[in-house]
Amino acid sequence: MCLTVVNRLLEKTGTDPARIGRLEVGTETIIDKSKSVKSVLMQLFAESGNLDLEGVDSTNACYGGTAALFNSINWVESSAWDGRLALAVCGDIAVYAAGPARPSGGAGAVAMLIGPNAPLVLDRGVRSSHMEHVYDFYKPDMSSEYPVVDAPLSIRSYLSSLDACYNKYRAKAANRGHENITLDSFDAMVFHTPYCKLVQKSLARVCLNDYVNLDKEHKSKLAHLEKFSEVCLEKSYTDRDVEKAFMAHSLQRFEAKTKPSLLVATNVGNMYTPSVYGGLISYLVSGCSRSLAGQHVAVFSYGSGSASSFFSIRVTSEEGHLEPLLKCLSDVQSRLSDRRKMAPEEFVATLGGREKAVHAAPYTPQGETETMFPGTWFLASIDEMHRRKYDRTPTTLSKANGH
């Protein structure tokens, strides 16, 4: 998947591989305990002769893609920058053992090109993070793809990290002269999406934080929330009355600011590291250059274990500068629509085949490649020494073959 998105990004943008000076991958789908996914991607740069690329893999559950993005931006802003572009790549396969979590799984990859004069620019000096030791979701069994999940703890950790990051962001913004940051300071708010309902609860959580930060005079103007005027954030994570009230209170803002970001997650499921960036893509494709130009977008990234960050992005106010990016994303909806539907039984059978294949060598993957999208990379074989060989489907298909 990472080979596919990097290949597609370079081709769609017309970027010469020699112009890339840093490439970092964020992933939690580990296929080797030593060799990085980034090193596999280097085969895309061999023909150009460009082997001078910094970066390897970043791993911490769903947060690795954000680490790759931040590290790439830091490189461009540093004394080590040699004038070339950076690529941050995030990709994962999210699969679960049989049970209630299995339907939320998904898979995907996102590649981001980073450099000067970009149409999306991160705000400086206000990025906040919250890191904590939590066993909410982890993968201790190297012989299995499936995680160990403490669902109630994971939700609490996610929401408490959001509280911490949001309030640290507000404090940093205040230190820079922006004293009253609220949800209304942003045109959109994008979240890491394990499942879509949690995102709606998270937007409500931001509204709860805004309410807690109000003085008594302003709280009194919200009569329908009067019974929660003394609510304590730390004691409210399992309070269903608080959750229900603030989900209702924030519904219109959720519909306007966050629901458009759920297109990919609704159709694909959890993608782990690419999830929050699938949300950003979804929001961008929901509008046009005229409506998006100049917008201020907040982003919350979370990875179990735990690592989280809250940051914000300014969309260029120049419509013409934004249009090339939107053109690259113009096929998102059509590619979602053109996927082949499979019965749940086929999905379960596929996972059963994967369970048997973990660490298998030699191994030849089963399944057809004819129905894959044009230009898709796939695993062709694993030899007796566990060395993987990848191949690519033709970049064009005849009409008879369809999609």
What are the structural domains, with CATH classification, of the chain? 2-328 (3.40.47.10), 348-392 (no CATH)
Catalytic residue among 2, 24, 62, 249: 62
Tokens of 354: 């994967």
Coil vs helix vs strand at 121: strand
Could you give the 3-state DSSP secondary structure of residue 194?
coil
Single out the residue of 121, 152, 159 nearest to residue 137, CA to CA. Answer: 152
Beta-bridge partner residues of 280: none
62 is catalytic: yes
The per-residue DSSP string of 349-370 comes to: HHHHHHHHHTT-SSB---S-ST
Length of the chain equals 403
Of the residues 2, 24, 130, 192, only one is catalytic, namely: 192
Q: What per-residue string of b and e applies to 280-307 under the rule 16 or more CB within 10 Å gives b?
A: bbbbbbbbebeebbebebbbbbbbbbbb
Tell me the pTM: 0.95
Give the β-pairing of 57-58 and 20-26.
parallel
293, 211 in Cβ contact below 8 A? no
Cα-based angle 95, 96, 101 (whole degrees, multiple of 5)? 120
Q: Distance between CA atoms of 34 and 163, rounded to whole angstroms?
A: 36
Low-confidence ranges of the chain (pLDDT < 70): 397-403
Query: Residue 101 CB: number of other CB atoms within 10 A?
Result: 19
Cα→Cα distances 375→39, 62, 87, Å: 20, 26, 19
Residue 321 has what DSSP assignment? H
Q: Is the peptide bond before 140 cis (omega within 30 degrees of 0)?
A: no
How far apart are alpha carbons 80 and 86 in whole angstroms?
12
Burial of 227 (0-12, 13-18, 19+ CB in 10 A): exposed
**Distance (Å, rounded) from C-alpha 194 to C-alpha 269?**
7
Give the model confidence (pLDDT) of 29-50 as tens digits. 998 999 999 999 999 999 999 9
Distances (CA, A) of 330 to 286, 374, 401: 10, 16, 23
Predicted local distance difference test score (pLDDT) of residue 142: 87
Torsion of CA 242, 246, 136, 347, to 10 degrees: 120
Tell me the C-alpha distance between 4 and 176, whole Å. 41
Residue 367, pLDDT score: 83
* Sole residue written with tokens 């004819």: 370
Q: What span, in angstroms and rounded, lies between the C-alpha atoms of 47 and 263?
A: 36
CB 327 within 8 A of CB 160: no
Phi-psi region of 12 (alpha: psi -120 to 50; beta: other; left: phi over 0): alpha
Q: 276 with 191: CB under 8 angstroms?
A: yes
Question: Which residue is catalytic, options 2, 24, 28, 196?
Answer: 28
Token match 């499936």: residue?
A: 146
Determine contact, residues 55/76, Cβ cutoff 8 Å: no
Does residue 359 have an active-site annotation? no
